[in-house]
Structure 1
Amino acid sequence: MAPLKNLETEYPIIDSNFQNFCASHGIFSVEDFLIHDLYMLAAFAEQNVSSERLKEGITQILSIIDDMHQPWLNGMELLEDAKRNKHFLPTGIQGVDLLLGGGIRVGQLTELVGPSASGKTQVCLQTASNVARNYMMLYLDTGNSFSPQRIAYFLGKTNELASAQAKNQILQKVMSNILCHSVFDIFAMFDVLHQLESNLRCQERGGGCRIRLLIVDSISLLIAPVLGGTSTRGLNISCTASMHIRSHKFKVDGYRTCFDGICWIFA
């Protein structure tokens, strides 16, 4: 979900007047609506000379939020989904794969939590090096922690018996399959995901290679600057981020496609 000003082209009702009204109440993005009293906001809109248009804008924002939620599923649909999602993307780390029952579970979010320097980024990097041997993946780097040298090191350890030429070919393939994007605030991440949705739609229609894994390292670095001193705000933004990433199961020509796995670091 992008800042309100980025939505004006697609939704003319979210014009400068509506944006200024929202800004006067501390609302600058769709995410901000989730932590504000919308009944109070509607009451303020009633007092404005453009009350009807403002209320239409609020309704439009709520519609955008609703579109992000997963559709309601009945018991049989949930069972079928569980059967489909028995597949995994191995991390390449024996202990972690054993703990997770095979690796990063297809269609679900895997969250790594731990204190500083506990090895969370190393798990992500080794997972990336293992998955990228066969698939395209996206690595969102929020703290300049992505290390091509570590990727090369992991590949070298698992290909010790290969020739120098074979090692170089594997390295080139893996590096070309990892799309690394630096993002330094939560809204920039939402913008990247919004653009990714468009790319995946074109990719699906064109029959291109699918992105099979998304890694966010680390989500907490994006949330911390906007906590505002209250845990409630941080929790709301964290839940919004999770919901937004999970919502990237896109319908393309009637077919539902999704990331095969999502891994992010928290704390």
Structure 2
Amino acid sequence: MITMVGKAIRKWWGVFALPTFAAFVIGFLIPFVMGIYLSFTKFTTVTNARWVGLRNFSGVFSDKEFIHALILTVAFTVVTTIIVNVVGFSIAYMLTKTLKGSNLFRSVFFMPNLIGGIVLGYIWLLLLNGVLSYWGRSITFSGTYGFWGMVLLVSWQQIGYMMIIYIAGLQSMPGDVIEASSVDGANGSQTMFQVIIPLMMPSITVCSFLTVTNGFKLFDQNLALTNGAPSNNSELLALNIYRTFYGRVGFEGVGQAKAVVFFIIVAAIVLIQNRLTTSKEVTA
């Protein structure tokens, strides 16, 4: 039986949905469409855009710094995705066992995720430079230092967040399946790789999606920790696009074209990753 409230919602749902839909259109859809249009123009402001076709995109793939940033971003995303998920899952598995102070440990591991990216970048800049100063180096001495410095920073920040997701997945697993595997004589490794991990694939899908997207769109930590130094060797894609758009007069269209290419690359990789992980999901 439909209540009076239910009837009112069915009748006036459009009124309630309109503000959210309007915000979506104004804040996302219109800028997204305009961004695609501007990638085919030469402009300094939206009002003086002049159509140039694919010229901006040819400038994208002829930019050696963009190609270097793309390769570095892919490598960075692969490394951080593996580290964050493996360590985050391992910590979650340990904290779901009987362990004194597990709630305290969960809070401690999660806390870095609450710190803003810019602040976190400057904190780790001081820490890493303090360590490297013993060898007369700094985090911006080479692209290698900058790369691994960002890996360390991002891993430290995101492990706690992924740990929470994995803990929720582990706690929702049916206990009778684990018990059945032990009754059947499965050892610890067999139980982990043939029972627990297949049942955890929904959580792994979510965490891998988040770590892949976070790796590709990393900007503020890159800006604060290395600012692309030395000579843009530690510059990731988001920072490269920012520098092109705001740092090179007359290259706004190229910067916008880079942003469109960036979106296509990330969307394609995320779709492939999501398809691969969801195909391995099983039900208990």
TM-score interval, smaller chain: under 0.3
TM-score, length-scaled by structure 1: 0.25
TM-score, length-scaled by structure 2: 0.24
Higher helix share: 2
Higher strand share: 1
Between structure 1 and structure 2, the one with the greater Rg is 2
Q: Which has the higher contact order (CA 8 A, sep 6+)?
A: 2
